[in-house]
């Protein structure tokens, strides 16, 4: 698998703080909760969060943002990972920061501080934009996109530009490949473009479609996608919209989910994907982000990576291990399912969709080509491993894929340590040698109903028995 393409992120960086504790009583002098046992967490916010999320996908990221000499700017720089190269613009005032007070992971209060704004562009920033193959603009209304507007306008004419707008910012430059407002932002921007449009009636989906269509024309954008929280996203090119639903209902901290959505969409476009494919990937990633604990789960990504495996299949497996670790650290439920998945069929999909609904992430453990040959014979697999992994990853219900070379997945399960190991109902516990292993760490084996008549072997046999049409010999050309 080729490495993800580099990405340039342009926008306003913030410094975020969370004060997390518990509430057991009200204050004696006022009816307000007393938050005790505080834990203090600092993390990148705004465009810096979007850059870190893109870097967590394995990309080399350049972040163009305004920073000053204040302590908040210095703290933010220390939090950026090595994959993020920083290009600084001068900042007037102190870097903006926000502090959330949370009790039992629920926000009680938010405090905003710092009113710094980007002062001017620099030659280095303009060069970075001119040389970029894809750009994400995370506009938080603090001036970075404004001072670089002409450079961004030129970039939009030649490379994919994704623009994540903010109510306090200006509209995207003409020609962006994709703009990503949330529903309330789309309503406000559409009202500015056509006063009165935001007040019209209709369902939430109808309103989102109308606002997206308005903004495609007003912004001269190739497409606008309106994010709808847990419902997914609605994509418009100015014609009939495409609704991309969330694969599951994710409960959790949604702070930063818009940055996760925009970073994934921009990264997919940088990799050469179609806009529709990029939006599907972004909906899936944002849903998984919320389920895994939001921005607070990012710290797990800084842990040392596992030693490289001798097999060439280590990349998807390492990604699966990181996904399982993030979900476990956030208190979620890790679900795993396994199989060859050679000629993916309706029975496979039904099992995987049912398995995903039982937890907060689904990791699919798939046999390598050599493992399939040992189990199924020399004529299998019909579909090579790389293609099987790609098809599985494209399913909305699948969060990650892991590969194992052995005949059974015990070694891989010992690394993943899922809470639930899902199997089709055609298996019995007596036939699952991995059952005792899963139960050894408190995990549970769960059987799901199996769709009768669906099997790879049956499909292959029917295909082989189907008569092939006789080709007529090509007619000779007359000379």
Residues identified as active-site: 259
- Measured at the CA of 314, the angle between CA 312 and CA 320, to 5 degrees, comes to 150
The answer to whether 467 touches 441, Cβ cutoff 8 Å, is no
Sequence-separated (6 or more) residues with CB below 8 Å from residue 417? 324, 328, 334, 441, 443
CA 453 to chain CA centroid, Å, is 35
């Amino acid at each position: 698998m080729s490495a993800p393409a580099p990405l340039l992120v342009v926008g306003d960086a913030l410094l975020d703080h969370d004060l997390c504790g518990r509430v057991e009583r009200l204050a004696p002098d006022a009816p307000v909760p007393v938050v005790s046992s505080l834990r203090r967490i600092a993390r990148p916010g705004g465009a810096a969060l979007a850059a870190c999320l893109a870097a967590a996908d394995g990309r080399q990221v350049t972040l163009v943002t305004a920073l000053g000499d204040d302590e908040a700017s210095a703290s933010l720089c220390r939090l950026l990972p090595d994959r993020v190269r920083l290009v600084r613009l001068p900042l007037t005032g102190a870097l903006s920061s926000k502090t959330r007070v949370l009790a039992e992971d629920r926000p009680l209060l938010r405090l905003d501080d710092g009113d710094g704004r980007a002062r001017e562009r620099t030659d280095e920033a303009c060069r970075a934009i001119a040389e970029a193959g894809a750009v994400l603009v995370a506009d938080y209304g603090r001036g970075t996109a404004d001072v670089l507007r002409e450079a961004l306008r030129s970039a939009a004419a030649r490379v994919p530009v994704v623009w994540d707008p903010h109510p306090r910012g200006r509209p995207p430059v003409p020609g962006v490949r994709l703009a990503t407002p949330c529903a309330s932002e789309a309503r406000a921007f559409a009202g500015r473009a056509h006063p009165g449009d935001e007040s019209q009636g209709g369902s939430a989906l109808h309103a989102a479609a109308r606002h997206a269509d308005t903004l495609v024309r007003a912004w001269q954008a190739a497409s606008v996608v309106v994010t709808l929280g847990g419902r997914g996203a609605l994509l418009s090119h100015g014609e009939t919209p495409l609704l991309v639903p969330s694969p599951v209902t994710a409960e959790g901290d949604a702070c930063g989910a818009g940055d996760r959505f925009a970073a994934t969409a921009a990264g997919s476009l940088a990799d050469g994907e179609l806009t529709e494919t990029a939006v599907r990937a972004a909906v899936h990633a944002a849903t998984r982000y919320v389920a895994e604990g939001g921005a607070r789960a990012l710290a797990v990504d800084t842990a040392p990576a596992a030693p490289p495996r001798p097999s060439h299949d280590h990349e998807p497996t390492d990604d699966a291990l990181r996904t399982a670790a993030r979900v476990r650290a956030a208190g979620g439920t890790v679900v795993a399912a396994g199989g060859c998945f050679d000629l993916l069929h309706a029975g496979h999909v039904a099992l995987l969709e049912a398995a995903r609904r039982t937890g907060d992430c689904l990791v699919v453990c798939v046999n390598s080509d050599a493992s399939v040959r040992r189990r199924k014979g020399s004529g299998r697999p019909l579909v090579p491993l790389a293609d099987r992994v790609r098809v599985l990853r494209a399913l909305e219900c699948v969060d990650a894929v892991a590969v194992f070379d052995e005949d059974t997945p015990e070694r891989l399960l010992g690394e993943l340590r899922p809470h639930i190991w899902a199997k089709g109902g055609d298996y019995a516990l007596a036939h699952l040698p991995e059952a005792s292993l899963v139960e050894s760490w408190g995990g549970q084996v769960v059987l799901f109903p199996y769709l009768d008549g669906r099997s790879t072997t049956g499909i292959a046999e029917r295909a082989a028995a189907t008569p092939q049409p006789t080709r007529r010999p090509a007619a000779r050309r007359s000379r």
